[in-house]
Amino acid sequence: MRKKMVAGNWKMNKNLQEGVALATELKQLVINPKCEVVIATPFIHLATIAQLLKDSPIALAAENCADKPAGAFTGEVSAEMVKSTGAQYCILGHSERRAYYHEDYDILREKVLLALQNQLKPIFCIGEVKEEREAGKQNQVVKAQLEGSVFNLTPEQFQNITLAYEPVWAIGTGLTATPQQAQEMHAYIRSLIQQKYGEQIAQDTTILYGGSCNAKNAAELFQNPDVDGGLIGGASLKAPDFLTIINAR
C-alpha cells in the first residue's frame, strides 16, 4: 500500500519566531494523522523545528538543497547540512525554483542524487505552465521532467521519491485543476513509472497534487484513486486550514 501524504510548503514565509509558533500549533493539533504529514520550512527554521517536532508524527522537509556536495559555494546549503538538522525530506524541482532560479533537468538530477546520498527523501515537483496546457502539451512536459531528472535512478533509489504534480497555472492562483484533470495526469504519471520501473513500484509511488489545494477542495481532489495527497502552499500557513486538509486525506 502506498503512503498517503499531506505536505505543507511554507515557501519564503514566516520569520523564525512565527515559524516556531506555527509548528508548535500544528504539533498540538496533529495527533494521530491517518496519513504522513510533512512541513517544509525555510532552511534557517529546520534545526529548531526539528527539535520541536521530535515527539510528534509531523515530519520535516527542506524546500531545496544545493547541487554540489560541499565547498566554495557561498550562500548554498548542502543536502548533508539539511540532513544534519534532523529533516527527513527535501522538496526539489518546485516550479518557482525552475522558473526564478533557472534550475534545469541537469541541476535537478544532481540535487536528487545528493539528497538520496544523504538519506533525504525527495518530494520531486513536476508540472506544465499555462501555455503548455493550452497547447495540449502537458503530458509531454511532465514526461520530459521525469526523464530529465529522476528516471536515471535505480529502482531502489526511485522508491524513495515522492512525486508532486503541480500545474504551474494552479500554483498560488486560486485556479485549481479539476479533480478530473488531476486524476488524468496522475494516472498518466503512474503509467510512465510503470513503463520504467514496473507495476509494483508504480503502485507504491506516492503522487501528490499541488496548486491552490485548500480546505474546501482537498477532499474532492483526494477522492481520485491516483491522487495520494497534496503539496499545500498558501493553505499550509494557517494551522486550522492545514489540519482540515490533513483530515480530508
Q: Which of 63, 94, 132, 186 is an active site residue?
A: 94
66/235 with CB nearer ligand PGA: 235
Contact 99/132 with Cβ under 8 angstroms? Answer: no
9/183 with CB nearer ligand PGA: 9
How many Cα atoms sit within 13 Å of 228 on the Cβ side? 24
Active site residue 45: no
Q: Which residue is nearest to ligand PGA (CB)?
A: 233
Q: Which three cell numbers stand for residue 168?
A: 504551474
For the bound state, the minimum distance from the C-beta of residue 24 to ligand PGA, rounded and expressed in Å, comes to 22
* 233 contributes a contact to ligand PGA by CB under 6 A: yes
For the bound state, the minimum distance from the C-beta of residue 178 to ligand PGA, rounded and expressed in Å, comes to 15
Contact 49/26 with Cβ under 8 angstroms? Answer: no
Active site residue 166: yes
Residues numbered 150-169 forming contacts with ligand PGA, rule: CB under 6 A: 166
Amino acid at 20: V
Angle at 113 between CA 141 and CA 140, to 5 degrees: 10
Residues numbered 7-36 forming contacts with ligand PGA, rule: CB under 6 A: 9
Q: Annotate 66-82 with b (16+ C-beta within 10 A) or e (fewer).
A: bbeeeeeeeeebbbbbb
The contact set with ligand PGA (CB under 6 A) reads 9, 166, 171-172, 210-213, 231-235
State the catalytic residues: 94, 166
